[in-house]
Amino acid sequence: MASYLQIADDEKGHELDLFCVPRHYENDLDKVIIPHGLIMDRTERLARDIIRDMGGHHIVALCVLKGGYKFFADLLDYIKALNQNSDKSVPLTVDFIRVKSYCNDKSTNNVKVIGGDELSSLSGKVSLVTHDIVETGRTMQTLLSLLSECNPKMVKVVSLLVKRTPRSSGYRPDYIGFEVPDAFLVGYALDYNEYFRDLSHICILNDQAKEKYKV
């Protein structure tokens, strides 16, 4: 079982005033729940664990857009640092796919995959799917079943966050950064109707903001 840093249900988080948060979001957030520095430190360790396990192969790192883009970029930077500073190194190529399943703060049953044509290039390859957050697990399960049609040699999934929720299908990624409470989180590329990707820390969205940015 993947190990992870657990953020408890009663975690109080940190006051916004203690960190730098864009002015335009100051009234929309309750607490900073995972500061950017902690995300980076945990990501550095995930890079090490991934290279330890997958290091013998050429890895195709597949970024699941849009929410995964920050985590993808930072994880790959740490993998690159390992490659540059050790005797063993792993060839790495990148690919991108876009999925959409959310409206407001609810997962819809309809998981849309955009850019799936490129997936055939993963045939026979070892891929590392990089994802922002697993809630029900439906997005990742849909994507994994599409990937398996392309006969990859190996697929591993790393998700920065996994939500503790009764809505979970039971799906767990191979690598997990943090396990988080059942709240709506934004920042570090996680969005609410496309807002809050431009926020460095992972924060809890407040109820007024859910109304304000509702579509």
- The pattern of x and - marking residues 35 through 74 that bind ligand IMP according to CB under 6 A reads --------------------------------x-------
The residues, ordered by sequence, that sit 6+ positions from 4 with a Cβ below 8 Å of its Cβ are 162, 176, 177, 178, 179
Spell out the alpha helix ranges (H) of 55-137.
69-84
User: How do 202-205 and 29-34 pair as beta strands?
Assistant: antiparallel
Contact status: 13 vs ligand IMP (CB under 6 A):
no
Is there a contact between 164 and 179 (Cβ–Cβ < 8 Å)?
A: yes
Q: Does position 102 bind ligand IMP by CB under 6 A?
A: yes
The one segment of 17-25, 79-87, 129-137, 146-154 that binds ligand IMP by CB under 6 A = 129-137
Of 29, 60, 44, residue with least CA distance to 128: 60
* Residue 184 binding partner per list ligand IMP, Mg ion, none, with a CB distance cut-off of 5 to 8 Å that depends on partner kind: ligand IMP
Nearest-approach distance from CB 71 to ligand IMP, in angstroms: 11
Site string for ligand IMP, 148-187 (x = CB under 6 A): ---------------x--------------------xxx-
Instruction: Please pick, from the candidates 90, 129, 133, 160, the single residue that binds ligand IMP as defined by CB under 6 A.
Output: 133
What residue 206 binds from ligand IMP, Mg ion, none (CB within 5 to 8 A, per partner kind)?
none
CB–CB of 146/62 below 8 Å? no
Question: Of residues 19, 102, 171, 195, which one binds Mg ion by CB under 5 A?
Answer: 102
Instruction: Give every CB contact of residue 201 below 8 A, 6+ residues apart in sequence.
Output: 19, 21, 32, 33, 34, 35, 36, 39, 187, 188
- Could you say which of Mg ion, ligand IMP, none residue 133 binds, taking C-beta under 5 to 8 angstroms by partner kind? ligand IMP
Q: Does 134 bind ligand IMP (CB under 6 A)?
A: yes
188: left (phi over 0), alpha (psi -120 to 50) or beta: left
Q: How far apart are CA 213 and CA 96, in angstroms?
A: 27
